[in-house]
Amino acid sequence: MNKNLQKIEPYLFILPQFIFFIVFMILPTGLGIWISLNKWDYLTKPKFVGLKNYIDLFKPDTIDYLEFWNAFGNTFKFVIFSVPPLIIIALALALLVNSPNLKFRNFFRGVFYASNVLSVSCVGLIWLWMLDTNAGLVNYYLEKLGIGRIPWLAELPWAWISLVAMTVWWIIGGNMILFLAGLQDIPQTLYEAADIDGASGWQKFWYVTLPGLKRPLLFIVIMTTLAQFNIFGQPYMVTRGGPGNATKVLLMYIRDVAFGQYRMGSASAMAIMMGLVMIVFSIIQYKLLSPKE
């Protein structure tokens, strides 16, 4: 009896977390695939339609075709526009606040990271005000400089520039801290050796720092890309998908289809398509960037 209990006991420890894992991770994935194979208005019984929801996304004469690929393209644009600055600026900031010659560097780390803890809606409200065409602070100073007012949120390409800029302001600190951890893992002896060889600052960056950052860089690029695919809050709060549908992103459209139009099957198929694209993207990045042993 006692021995049996001892055998079961470990399972009791993992059980609570495991139940939630099954109900809210495994079950949804299975259910999601199943819903995507059905036509379902959420009220009546789902009707099995096979791969129709997926095929419809590739048929130019369906309602979803234009809107889905528009949202897909917009999401893609956002990823392409936002990931490079989120990597490059974060690395530059990390190098800056990692330098032993910088005074108060802990304070600066805190400053650059602070905006990262805000919610996306708070960030949205702040930038709505900063970028307001008539009364915003940014246009006020641009006008003083003689550049004039820019319709930051109402016209292209400004709407994209605004979304990318506020995203950089919002989350760059997280990437900066990740790079910082990577920088601190590079053995100091490598720099000392480079000094003895008379390497310049630039050479040290190119031949010591960058190679030493390969693993963290791979991780940061993949995580940042995946996170940016999930863009929703910024356009939802600030551009409302506009001008027109130009900044309407996938999560906005999928939410519309699922909970506005109650076409659960189509929405699930779109969500799974999006998930697959994200997985493919990570694999490609992994193949391209992973350090060769």
Partner 1 sequence: MQKLETGKTAKINFTKSYKNKKQLEKILLFSVAVILATFWLLPLLWIVSTAFKPESDVIDPIVRWIPKRVTLDNFRIIFSDKENAPILRWFFNSLFIALSHTILILLFDSLAAFAYARLKFKYKETIYWTMMATMMIPGVINFIPAYVIVDKLGWIDTPAAMIFPGLGGVFGVFLLRQFFEGIPKDLDEAALIDGASYFTIYFRIILPLSKPALMTLAVFTFMGNWNDFLWPILVTNDAANRTLPAGLAIFQGTYIHNYGILMAGALISAVPPILLFLLGQKYFVKGIALSGLKE
Q: Cβ distance 124 to 233 under 8 Å? A: yes
Distance CA 195, CA 180 (A): 21
Contacts of 182 (CB under 8 A, 6+ apart): 94, 212, 213, 215, 216, 217
Q: Which of 292, 84, 290 is nearest to 172 (CA)?
A: 84
DSSP 291: P
Residue among 61 and 196 whose Cβ is closer to partner 1: 196
Residue 155's beta-bridge partner residues?
none
Residue among 18 and 58 whose Cβ is closer to partner 1: 18
Q: Which of 90, 75, 72 is nearest to 219 (CA)?
A: 90
Q: Cβ distance 245 to 67 under 8 Å? A: yes
Residues 106, 101, 190, CA angle at the centre, nearest 5°? 105
Residue among 30 and 244 whose Cβ is closer to partner 1: 30
Residue among 6 and 60 whose Cβ is closer to partner 1: 6
CB of 60 to partner 1, least distance (A): 24
Phi, psi dihedral angles at 30 (to 5 degrees)? -65, -50
CB of 22 to partner 1, least distance (A): 8
**Residue 249 three-state SS:** coil
CB of 63 to partner 1, least distance (A): 18
CB of 278 to partner 1, least distance (A): 5
CB of 183 to partner 1, least distance (A): 11
CB of 61 to partner 1, least distance (A): 25
Residue among 120 and 164 whose Cβ is closer to partner 1: 120
Residue among 12 and 288 whose Cβ is closer to partner 1: 12
Residue among 60 and 196 whose Cβ is closer to partner 1: 196
Distances (CA, A) of 246 to 67, 115, 250: 10, 27, 12
Residue among 206 and 286 whose Cβ is closer to partner 1: 286
CB of 147 to partner 1, least distance (A): 16
Q: Is the dihedral of CA 37, 235, 69, 218 positive or negative?
A: negative
Residues 55, 23, 222, CA angle at the centre, nearest 5°? 60
CB of 208 to partner 1, least distance (A): 18
Q: Which helix (H) or strand (E) element contains residue 39? A: strand 38-39
